[in-house]
Amino acid sequence: MQKKFLTNLALLLFLNVLVKPFWIFGIDRTVQNTVGLEDFGFYFTIFNFAYLFNILLDAGITNFNNRNIAQHMHLLNKHFSSLVILKFLLAGLYVAVTFLVALIIGYNDAQLKLLAWVGFNQFLLSFILYLRSNVNGMLMFRTDSFLSVLDRLLMIAICAVLLWGNVTGGRFEIEWFVYAQTAAYLMTAIVALAIVMKKAKFKKLHWNRAFLMVILKKSFPFAILVLLMSVYNRVDSVFIERLLEGMEGNRQAGIYAQAFRLLDAVNQIAWLFAVLLLPIYSRMIRLKEPLVDMVRLPFSLLFTVAVIVVTGSFFYRVEIMSWLYPMGEGESSADFARKLNESSTVYGILMFGFLGSTTMYIFSTLLTANGNLKQLNLVALSGIALNFIINILLVPRLMATGAAIASLSTQLFTAGAYLLLAQYFFRFKIDVKFLSKLVIFILLVIGFNFISKELPFTWQVNFCVMMAAAAISAFAMRLIDIHGIIRQLKDHESY
C-alpha cells in the first residue's frame, strides 16, 4: 500500500506543481493586481461567504462515498445511480439557504449578483469532487490526478486570453474571472461524469427514498465535520468585511487575500496527501494492517516541507510580498509602504498555520477513516468557538492582522487536538528519536535563515541558498528518507 501511495503521490504532486503554481502566481495574482485590492477583496469575501454553506451541497457524501467505495467497490453502480439525484436536490437547498442568509445580513444587488455565479461555481466544484470520490475510491489515482488539474488548466487558458490576448482592450473585470471558473468547472464536470458513468456501467437514475435517507444518516457526521472545518478555515475574511465599515472592509479583505493566497497554495499540497490517504487508510483499517509506517511516512514528508516553507516565509515575508504585489500604477509610495507592511505582517502570521494544517490533514484523515467522527466534530466545534471569539475581539482593532491571529490560533489548536486523538485511539508508540530529529531540524532551519539573510547576494539567491541547505539537512537526517522510499517501492506490491 505504501508503494501505491508513493507512486501516485509523485504523479499527483508532479501534475499539480506543473499547473497550480502558474495558476496562483500567473493568473490569480495577476487578476488581483489588475483589478485592485478593493475589487478583489469584494470577490474574496463573496467567495468565502458562499464557501461557508458548501456543506449543504455535499452533506458529507463525498468523504463518506470515498471511504465506502474504497471498502466496497461493488456498490459503485447502486450508489451512483441514486446519489446524483441527491446532489441536485442539495443544490436547491444550498441556493435557498445561501441567499436567505445573504439577504438577512444585508447584501446589496451587486453582491447578490456575484453570489449567484459564485454559488453556481460551488455547485459545479462540489459535483466534481463527488465524481472524483468515486474515481479515488476505486483507487484510480492516476485518473484522479489528471482530473485534479483539468479545471485549472482550462481556467489558465481562458484567463490568459482575457488578460494578455488583446481581446478586451486592456480591461479586466472581476466578474470575468468568475465566468472563466464557471466554464472550466462545467467542462471538467462533463469529463469526470463520463468517466464515472462508464466505470459504474450507468444505465438510469434510480430514486430510492429509503436508501437516500440511510445514506444521509450515515454521511451526516461527515457533513458536520466538513461544515465546521469550512467555517473556521474561511470565515475570517467575512468577519473582516462585516466588522469593518465601508471600503476599508473590502481593502482589508484584499490585504488578507494577498497573504492568504500562498497559505492556500501550500495547503493544497497537504490536501493532496489527504485525498490519497483516506481510501488507503480506510482499506488498511478494514484489513487490519499495521498503520505506523503509513502514518509516519506522509507526516515526515509533509511536516519537513512545512518547516522549511513556514520559516522561510517568516524571515522573507517583506521581500516575498513586495515581489508578488509590486507598486501599482498611480499608487503613492506611502500607500504602497502601508500595503506592504500590512500584507507582510499578515503573511508572516498566517503561514505558521501551515504547520497546523499539515498535522491536521494527516491525523484527521486517519481518524476519519477509522470512523471517529464524533470526536473530530467536537474538536472542530471548539475550533470555531475559538476562532469566533478571537476574530470578534481582534478584528475591530487589528483588522486583517487580527483575523490572521484567529486563523493561526485555530489551526494550531485543532492540529494538536487531532494529534492527541490519533495517539489515544491507535496507541502509537512515541518515537523519541524521530521527535528529537524534528526539533534539531527546526533549529537548523532557523539558523540557516539567520545566516542567509546576511549573505551579500539578492534576497532571491539568499532564499534559495537557505532552501538548499534545509533540504540537504532533511535528506542527511533522513526526515526525507530517499533510500527508505526506494525500498518501499521495491518491497511493496501495488493493490
Domain residue limits, the chain: 22-234
CA distance 16 to 8: 12
Number of Cβ within a 10 Å radius of residue 174:
20
What does the block give as the cell for 376? 473530530
CA torsion, points 230, 231, 232, 237, in degrees to nearest 10? Answer: 110
Predicted pLDDT of residue 72: 63
Give yes or no for a contact between 298 and 270, defined as CB atoms under 8 angstroms apart: no
Report the candidate in 492, 134, 420, 423 with the shortest Cα–Cα distance to residue 279: 134
Predicted pLDDT of residue 264: 83
Largest pairwise CA distance in the chain: 70
Convert the chain into a string of H (helix), E (strand) and C (coil): CHHHHHHHHHHHHHHHHHHHHHHHHHHHHHHHHHHCHHHHHHHHHHHHHHHHCCHHHHCCHHHHHHHHHHHCHHHHHHHHHHHHHHHHHHHHHHHHHHHHHHHHCCCCHHHHHHHHHHHHHHHHHHHHHHHHHHHHHCCCHHHHHHHHHHHHHHHHHHHHHHHHCCCCCCCCCHHHHHHHHHHHHHHHHHHHHHHHHHHHCCCCCCCCHHHHHHHHHHHHHHHHHHHHHHHHHHCHHHHHHHHCCHHHHHHHHHHHHHHHHHHHHHHHHHHHHHHHHHHHHHHHHHCCCCCHHHHHHHHHHHHHHHHHHHHHHHHCHHHHHHHHCCCCCCCCHHHHHHHHHHHHHHHHHHCCHHHHHHHHHHHHHHHHHCCCHHHHHHHHHHHHHHHHHHHHHHHHHHCHHHHHHHHHHHHHHHHHHHHHHHHHHHCCCCCHHHHHHHHHHHHHHHHHHHHHHCCCCCHHHHHHHHHHHHHHHHHHCCCCCHHHHHHHHHHCCCC
Predicted pLDDT of residue 491: 45
Q: Which residues of 124-133 are buried (b: 16+ CB within 10 A; e: fewer)?
A: bbbbbbbbbb
Specify the residue for cell string 446519489. Answer: 83
Helix 76-104 to helix 37-52 angle (10° resolution) is 120
Report the candidate in 3, 7, 12, 1 with the shortest Cα–Cα distance to residue 270: 12
CA distance 49 to 276: 28
pLDDT tens for each residue of 309-340:
999 999 999 999 998 888 877 778 888 888 89
CA distance 195 to 316: 44
User: For the whole model, what pTM was predicted?
Assistant: 0.71
Predicted pLDDT of residue 461: 95
Report the candidate in 426, 424, 463 with the shortest Cα–Cα distance to residue 445: 463
CA distance 55 to 361: 18
Give yes or no for a contact between 321 and 258, defined as CB atoms under 8 angstroms apart: yes
CA distance 73 to 491: 26
Let me know the angle formed at the C-alpha of 420 by 311 and 404, rounded to the nearest 5 degrees.
40
CA distance 283 to 268: 23
In this prediction, the residues of the chain whose per-residue pLDDT falls under 70 are 1-13, 63-79, 81, 137, 139, 170, 202-204, 206, 222, 227, 481-495
